Amino acid sequence: MVGTEAGHVVVSDGSDLAAQLADFPPTVVLDALGGAFTGQAIDALRPHGRLVLFGASAGGEGEVPLRNLYRKGLTVHGYGGLIEPDDVMIAASRKALEALARGEFAIPVDSVLPLEQVNAAFEQFQHRRIRGKVVLDVNA
């Protein structure tokens, strides 16, 4: 089984991601954010690295440093799970839930808050004060 913990974690607003990764250039970047993060990820990647784009929650538009893209020989993959057939998505979901049930991986939960504290939950996200998921308990 592959390790379940990251060996190196960087928190960035996207403007300095490449600088923060200068001493630890990744071979693969999984980019769910888009926007400014994508260009910074390209700058940070090692030669012959891979960028996998699967979201754009930080912005659907961004600047791509084309010279770094081709000079480093990078590969860019787009992944859109929504185009997968239902049987593929159902099988993958089942497999992931079974692995979770067996304890092969865990979803870190930072805090559980009653639904009435939804604004406090959003504040935690905005100020990057969380380490894991925030769960809103609708039964509390």
User: For 26-62, how does the pLDDT look when each residue is reduced to its tens digit (9 = 90+)?
Assistant: 999 989 889 888 999 999 999 999 999 999 988 888 8
Separation between Cα atoms, residue 40 and residue 15, nearest integer Å: 7
Contact status, residue 38 vs residue 15, Cβ threshold 8 Å: no
User: For 75-118, how does the pLDDT look when each residue is reduced to its tens digit (9 = 90+)?
Assistant: 999 988 788 899 999 999 999 999 989 988 878 888 899 999 99
User: Which segments of 8-129 does DSSP mark as H helices, in order?
Assistant: 17-20, 36-44, 66-71, 86-101, 118-126
Report residue 55 as tokens. 């979201």
Separation between Cα atoms, residue 126 and residue 119, nearest integer Å: 10
Verdict on whether the full-model pTM lies above 0.85: no
